[in-house]
Amino acid sequence: MTEPAPPGGRRKQRQNLTDIGPDRPPGGVASRPLLVLAQLVAAWAAGSVFLPTAWLVLLAVLFAGDEAVLLAAAALGVAALLGYLVIVIRATRGVSVLGATRGGRFLWALLVLGLGTAGWTLGWVVTDVAGLGVSRDLLLTAVLGGVPYALVAGTLLRGWRHKGVALGLGVALLGAGVAVLRQEPPDDLEARLAAGDLHRETAYVVAVPGYRPDDRDYGGGLGGSGFTPADPAAIPPDRYVRIVAYDRLLPGAAVCGQPTAQDADLPTGSCTAEPGGLVHRQGPVEHGYQVRVGRRYVTVVGSTAVPRDLLRSAARSLRPATARELGDQEQTGDYYAARVPGYTPQLMGIPAGLVYTPSDHTGNGGQSVHITLSVSQADDDLCYLTEKCTPVGSGLTYVRREDTHGYAVRRGTVTVQVLGGLRVDAKPLRQAALDARPATDDELRRLLPPLEPRTPLDRLRRWLRTF
């Protein structure tokens, strides 16, 4: 028979069994500060001594030019560092939550190696981005290089006091690193300007009441190039008449009994036969006629803003274009003209023909109400190709060209011009010229798209800026 254990024996036995558990090492962490310190210093040495030495060896092998030897040396270095950490945890297992078992100790070595190296790499990148120059100082590299390894080891110690300190320091350093990486590089804006073919000295912005930017939109109504009326109803319709001749018909394409010229750009919505053999063809945006003149099939097509009577009159007055109407273009039999009161003809390239636009330039669609901000070097001739160029005070010069007018003002080494179509009142053009100013850095960043990432670090920094 066995004697019963004394009253305190069972408690002592249970205490011996639980002392090796994850929460209570023999004597407690507080009673073994030297062992805690030894583990942290040994983990710190992995990044401060072992890793820099391994990098120097790898660089020497790299310069030797043997790739196989380099890979072998890298694998040997990783294995050696892992073995070193296994020895560290075996010697200090009593102060770690993973020190009780062989598998736990190997996991500790893997975590310290993996997470410590990740932190070491991140720290290297962050200090370089911040311009601290740590990577160029051997002493700072040695002192700070082991910090990530020591912090990982600290989070795996027994006792929440040590874990809390290590975890708090780790989170603080990680947060500071993320804050640094989220910042745009100092030369990022200059690179984006170069990629967008935009020059800072000519990048001006202005807001025009009642208009919205249709190009170089900086946000908040600010634009740096073209402006269109915000109300679509304020944009007058285009007015033009197009006259083109064709030499053959398209089989089986008769409209209201009239054949259709092959390749002709004729409206196809509806048709109406008119007295005298004319057939009016109506589409959603254009309408017109097709007339046979000799061996040619000539189309007279205009926008829906052009009256039907005007197109009909033009169709009945078709004739070969004169040398005056053609200018330097030789008459090949493909050019026909007509009598279109209030309109001026111009040559078209493809298809060959003439296009008539309003002679006064005031009703030619969106162009007549469009506004443009442009900036050029101040030494350019401001009055070149103008019909009117008159100083009007406040540093402003009123300029008028064939189909635009507006104001120009010199700003240092550049000249700022705000020109609009002839339907635009001069007052908003004058105010816009006075209000135009250089774009700020923040406005340029809003305008210019970010650069495409070229390296993993670029991709990481771009991803961090999305939060």
The bridge status of strand 396-400 relative to strand 404-411 is antiparallel
- Token pair, residue 59, equals 């660089």
64 exposure class (CB count in 10 Å sphere: 0-12, 13-18, 19+): exposed
Alpha-carbon distance of 292 to 66, in angstroms, equals: 83
pLDDT single digits (tens) 86-115:
999 999 999 999 999 999 999 999 999 999
- Confidence band of 28 (pLDDT split at 50, 70, 90): very low
CA 318 to chain centre: 52
pLDDT single digits (tens) 408-466:
999 988 999 999 999 999 999 999 999 999 999 999 999 998 888 888 877 888 788 78
- Confidence band of 349 (pLDDT split at 50, 70, 90): confident
30 exposure class (CB count in 10 Å sphere: 0-12, 13-18, 19+): exposed
Q: What is the pLDDT of residue 402?
A: 86
Alpha-carbon distance of 153 to 173, in angstroms, equals: 16
Alpha-carbon distance of 378 to 439, in angstroms, equals: 18
Whether 120 has a pLDDT exceeding 60, the answer reads yes
Task: Say if CB 76 and CB 61 are below 8 A apart.
Answer: no
Q: What is the pLDDT of residue 32?
A: 77
Q: What is the pLDDT of residue 65?
A: 65
pLDDT single digits (tens) 269-311:
899 999 888 999 999 999 999 999 988 999 999 999 999 999 9
Task: Say if CB 225 and CB 217 are below 8 A apart.
Answer: no
pTM above 0.75, yes or no: no
Query: Using only C-alpha atoms, what is the Rg of the chain?
Result: 41
CA 254 to chain centre: 51
Q: What does the buried/exposed string (b/e) look like for 200-229 if buried means 16 or more CB atoms within 10 Å of the residue's CB?
A: eebbbbbbbeebebeebbbeebbbbbbbbb
Q: Which position has the token pair 């990577």? A: 135
Alpha-carbon distance of 208 to 191, in angstroms, equals: 29
Nearest to 374 by CA among 192, 195, 201, 226: 226
- Token pair, residue 101, equals 């078992």
- Token pair, residue 148, equals 């990530």
Which residues, including other chains, have CB under 8 Å from residue 164's CB and lie 6 or more apart? none
Identify the residue with better confidence: 188 or 169. 169
Q: What is the pLDDT of residue 317?
A: 95
Mean pLDDT estimate for the chain: 86
DSSP string, 108-141: HHHHHHHHHHHHHHHHHHHHHHTT--GGG-HHHH
Strand partners, 217: 223
Q: What is the pLDDT of residue 240?
A: 93
Which residues, including other chains, have CB under 8 Å from residue 151's CB and lie 6 or more apart? 116, 119, 166, 169, 170, 173
pLDDT single digits (tens) 42-83:
999 988 888 777 777 777 777 766 677 777 777 888 888 999
